[in-house]
Amino acid sequence: MWFFPALDNFALAGKADRIDLRTDGTLEILDFKTGGVPQPKEMTAFEAPQLLLEAAMARSGMFPGIVARETSALTYIKIGLGPAAFVLRQFSLRKGMTLMQAVDEIERRLQGHVEAFLVRDDLPMLARIRPMDTGRKPRPGPYDHLARTDEWTLTSGVDDP
């Protein structure tokens, strides 16, 4: 488990699908996806944090049998059928940002989220204001009425005060 330096009461545990040692002494972390691979926009917006967090864990020496090292490549490999199967897709970074700078940023963001949502008890928890648009028509679930989603969003024609 990886403990955040500023948060001694929160640990992150994870397992990488594959970690390779490169000839330059850095690591390449690979993630095999049976579903969709995150889009470049999601990666640059830090909305696909898994591989970045695995790189942070690798830098801290948290993977058994792997000495603490920096990561120089994050790679997705889609497993399945079709033209996208077994095509390597590198993690997309913001222009001008190095991979380890992105790792530092995701660490900072996660520490802030953990502190705000899990450690502090003086902040109210908010409902999701706008559900993520997946491009598909949402299928109603058996417990949607309990979530009161329509009450908290503007998607159902709620009257304004």
Q: In whole angstroms, what is the distance from residue 21 CA to residue 160 CA?
A: 58
pLDDT reported for residue 157: 47
Of the pLDDT bands very low, low, confident and very high (cuts 50, 70, 90), residue 12 is confident
pLDDT tens-digit map of 82-132 = 887 888 999 999 999 999 999 999 999 988 888 877 767 776 665 555 555
pLDDT in tens, 31-72: 999 888 999 999 999 999 999 999 999 999 999 999 999 999
The domain limits of the chain are 2-119
pTM, full prediction: 0.73
